[in-house]
């Protein structure tokens, strides 16, 4: 199947690019699972933008750089933040019903921000944004939305009938889950917007499909990746044995929520960041929570906003309030049990300000990329913003150079002549569980060289097993995801071993100091 442009991913970055491109070109959007199954719909907090009279771009830039531990690229930070108000205007035009007060957008505050600058739709901003973008895409005759497509690999010059080592990307091979067949989708330009790699960890707020597919595919195709050791852990994920991965948004702390040790009753953030307390950046709060849990042998710590008026809490956090009530927790009357959990992949495929990757014909945007915006730690509510700005940048660059892009050549079809259906699905489940567990225990919030080396050793053992399995059996979504999870685990561990300092999200007991010069960890295939 050939289209003008192929977009891999149906979240904020992918749909932003598709809508911009569709004004002039025919666009195919592939989604793994449902069109709404990506991370965008899960984003509770909101979108950061300078909209308040007392705020400035310089303030937002400084907050982003401080949170990012100086590893951010200043030019990228300025590029994104200066385009934020326009991105919010576009979303308003699409019908996103942001909260308002007397006609003006209501702004909340989150950890690491010096001002109120988070626009939101109650505590379910991502869902409202996803719905608005999807509605616009469904109504656009130039956009074809295709769900239940699990991309296996990018199509490059190596797959041409006349072999080429150019690295030029022509689209992707994708497993159609309904037919069980691998289909070749070709295009002049491809936009990778496949999300992060959160599910490489045992505890994560990311959706089931966040298995690093885009990062792994780009790496295998020959693109560099950067700063994969910078894996953000959200400080406050609900602790509940029945409900996994339910996030308690940063905004709960932004509106006055306090952290307490459930055994001692102590409000402990003063020990870790006396000035900012609960409003310190996420890496600091996550390490504080992790330290309290390990030091006192706790299952969780308490987040308490019950000192605020009940109506205030219900009005600001209706989704969380209702969800917790169903679990027997009334956040207007008592604390919420929380634990840290993996939350955001700050590293990824290297891109420039035009969203170009190293590979001709491949652009990328969103969580699968490392643009220079987040550095060593993402500032709250900058993630959706990055999706809008770089989704648009990719589309504009593709349109500007369209006449230089060739039509796809003849591509070899997917070959499954030497494989059979799997009779050992248990292998996938076992390896998936093993990866997520050792990544949590050895490559988590606090690291040591010995733990990282142990993880690297297990990855080497599993790689042979997974590649052997991949070579003998027909691909399934589970097998594709396992292969990509292992690839991303290897990139994370390799990057973490290379960074011999502590900076932002990468904290190692063997190198607790921060180097005077900030350097990216860039891996070359």
Which residues are the active-site residues? Answer: 282
Q: Which residues contact 202 (CB under 8 A, 6 or more apart)?
A: 436, 437, 439, 440
Of 228, 216, 222, nearest to 71 (Cα)? 228
Q: How many helices (H) and strands (E) does the chain have?
A: 15, 20
Asked if 243 and 203 count as a contact pair (C-beta separation under 8 A), the reply is no
For 190, the token pair is 């491809």
Indicate the SS3 state at residue 153.
Answer: strand
Asked if 50 and 117 count as a contact pair (C-beta separation under 8 A), the reply is yes
Q: Which residues contact 366 (CB under 8 A, 6 or more apart)?
A: 9, 11, 12, 13, 14, 193, 194, 195, 386, 387, 390, 391
Q: 158-161 — which CB contacts under 8 Å span 24+ positions?
A: 159/411, 159/412, 160/409, 160/410, 160/411, 160/412, 161/409, 161/410, 161/411, 161/412
Classify residue 319 as exposed, middle or buried by CB count within 10 Å of its CB (0-12, 13-18, 19+).
middle
Q: What is the DSSP letter of 126?
A: H
Rounded-to-integer distance, Cα 96 and Cα 15, Å: 14
């Amino acid at each position: 199947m050939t289209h003008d442009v192929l977009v891999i991913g149906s979240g904020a970055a992918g749909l932003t690019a598709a809508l911009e491109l569709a004004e002039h070109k025919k666009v195919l959007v592939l989604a793994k699972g449902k069109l709404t199954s990506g991370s965008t719909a899960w984003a509770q907090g909101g979108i950061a933008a300078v909209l308040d009279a007392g705020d400035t771009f310089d303030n937002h830039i400084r907050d982003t750089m401080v949170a990012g531990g100086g590893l951010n690229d200043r030019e990228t930070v300025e590029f994104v933040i200066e385009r934020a108000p326009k991105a919010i205007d576009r979303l308003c035009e699409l019908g996103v019903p942001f909260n308002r007060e007397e006609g003006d957008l209501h702004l909340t505050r989150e950890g690491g921000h010096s001002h109120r600058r988070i626009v939101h739709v109650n505590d379910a901003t991502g869902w409202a944004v996803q719905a608005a973008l999807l509605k616009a895409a469904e109504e656009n005759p130039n956009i074809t939305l295709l769900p239940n497509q699990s991309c296996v690999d990018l199509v490059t010059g190596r797959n041409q009938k006349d072999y080429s080592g150019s690295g030029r990307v022509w689209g992707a091979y994708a497993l159609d889950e309904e037919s069980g067949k691998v289909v070749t989708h070709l295009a002049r330009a491809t936009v990778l917007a496949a999300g992060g790699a959160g599910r490489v960890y045992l505890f994560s707020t990311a959706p089931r499909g966040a298995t690093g597919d885009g990062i792994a595919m780009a790496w295998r195709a020959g693109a560099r990746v950067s700063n994969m050791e910078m894996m953000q852990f959200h400080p406050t994920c609900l602790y509940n044995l029945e409900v996994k991965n339910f996030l308690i948004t940063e905004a709960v702390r932004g509106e006055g929520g306090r952290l307490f040790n459930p055994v001692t009753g102590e409000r402990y953030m003063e020990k870790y960041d006396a000035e900012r307390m609960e409003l310190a950046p996420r890496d600091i709060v996550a390490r504080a929570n992790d330290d309290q849990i390990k030091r006192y042998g706790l299952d969780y710590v308490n987040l308490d906003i019950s000192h605020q008026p009940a109506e205030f809490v219900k009005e600001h956090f209706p989704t969380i309030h209702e969800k917790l009530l169903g679990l027997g927790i009334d956040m207007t009357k008592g604390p919420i049990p929380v634990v840290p959990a993996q939350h955001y992949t700050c590293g990824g495929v290297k891109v420039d300000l035009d969203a170009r990757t190293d590979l001709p014909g491949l652009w990328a945007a969103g969580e699968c990329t490392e643009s220079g915006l987040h550095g060593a730690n993402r500032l709250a509510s900058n993630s959706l913003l990055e999706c809008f700005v770089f989704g648009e940048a990719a589309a504009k660059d593709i349109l500007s150079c369209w006449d230089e892009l060739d039509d796809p050549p003849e591509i070899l079809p997917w070959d499954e002549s030497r494989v059979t259906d799997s009779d050992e699905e248990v292998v996938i489940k076992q390896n998936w569980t093993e990866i997520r567990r050792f990544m949590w225990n050895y490559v988590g919030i606090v690291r040591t060289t010995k733990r990282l080396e142990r993880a690297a050793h297990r990855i080497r053992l599993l790689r042979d097993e997974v590649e052997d399995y991949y070579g003998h059996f027909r691909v399934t979504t589970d097998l594709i995801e396992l292969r990509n999870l292992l690839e991303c685990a290897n990139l994370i561990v390799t990057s973490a071993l290379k960074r011999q300092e502590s900076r932002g999200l990468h904290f190692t007991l063997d190198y607790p100091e921060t180097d005077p010069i900030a350097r990216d960890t860039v891996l070359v295939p």
